[in-house]
Amino acid sequence: MPNAIPAHKRILLKLSGEALMGDDQFGINRATIERMVAEIVEVTKVGVQVAVVIGGGNIFRGVAGGSVGMDRATADYMGMLATVMNALALADAMDKQGLTARVMSAIGIEQVVEPYVRPKALQYLEEGKVVVFAAGTGNPFFTTDTAAALRGAEIGAEVVLKATKVDGVYTADPVKDPSATRYDKLTFDEAISRNLGIMDATAFALCRDQKLPIRVFSIVKPGALKRVVMGENEGTLVYA
């Protein structure tokens, strides 16, 4: 019989920007974002406090700008702005499904969204609002995975849940190597030393140092987020 009590009281959910495209080539697929929000609604119903860090890979990545000759820091600021767009779309979709969401940006853009202020974010979470952290860490040369580790540690999340297009951490990128096999669990040191590309080493190292576990799972798989939150064995656990 499934557990009725969630395994976590407060989670930091890292949503892949790339997954927002659904089957499209670029941008935000409406049905996909609505489906993701429906999954989030389910976990708020069992009383879990939810903070979200959203990626920007469906719109722009700094590395792409850098590779065609742009100044890398400028390109990274463009990437951070892409995450603000995704955060706005996500909060709007949440609103439409009855959730109260607050977007907080790591870069100053006050006419659009409020700035990230830690005590305010904690207050929103206590009030049952979903907090969407936009603009990553606010610094170039980082990623939203590192922002997820950073914000997760700051808000005292019990776990970082990386919701992505693959269903866990594999021995190699399963999209490129069909012979790759999935880990049920592995340590941060193993993930870093094996150079597993699912997340960047900075994010892994920060979570390791803060003893903040990460669970990687598929956001494409219906009900997977709820199963993770209820403590079921879904995806891959990375731990200290």
Ligand X SMILES: Nc1ncnc2c1ncn2[C@@H]1O[C@H](COP(=O)(O)OP(=O)(O)OP(=O)(O)O)[C@@H](O)[C@H]1O
Ligand Y SMILES: O=c1ccn([C@@H]2O[C@H](COP(=O)(O)O)[C@@H](O)[C@H]2O)c(=O)[nH]1
**Applying CB under 6 A, does 62 fall inside the site for ligand Y?**
yes
Token pair 């979570």 is at which residue?
A: 207
With contacts defined by CB under 6 A, how many residues of the chain interact with ligand X? Answer: 21
137/164 with CB nearer ligand X? 164
Told to check if 61 binds ligand Y by CB under 6 A, we report yes
SS3 for 44-85, per residue? HHCCCEEEEEECCCCCCCHHHHHHCCCCHHHHHHHHHHHHHH
Q: Does 16 bind ligand X (CB under 6 A)?
A: yes
Q: Give least dist CB 127 to ligand X, A.
A: 27
- Of the candidate residues 57, 152, 213, 235, the single one contacting ligand Y (CB under 6 A): 57
196 phi and psi angles, rounded to 5 deg: -75, 120
26 among the known binding-site residues? no
Q: Is 213 in the site for ligand X (CB under 6 A)?
A: no
User: CB of 215 within 8 A of CB of 236?
Assistant: yes
Minimum separation from the CB atom of position 49 to ligand X (A):
22
User: Residue 19: which of 184, 216, 192 has the closest Cα?
Assistant: 216
Figure out which of the listed residues 55, 152, 168, 235 binds ligand Y, where binding follows CB under 6 A: 55
- Shortest distance (Å) from residue 24 CB to ligand Y: 16
Distance CA 190, CA 240 (A): 10
Task: Choose between 172 and 192: whose C-beta lies nearer to ligand X.
Answer: 172
Q: Which of residues 83-112 bind ligand Y (CB under 6 A)?
A: 83
Residue 12 dihedral angles phi and psi, to the nearest 5°: -110, 110
At 62, list the tokens. 């700094």
The binding site for ligand Y (CB under 6 A) comprises 17, 55-57, 61-63, 76, 79-80, 82-83, 136-137, 139-140, 142-147
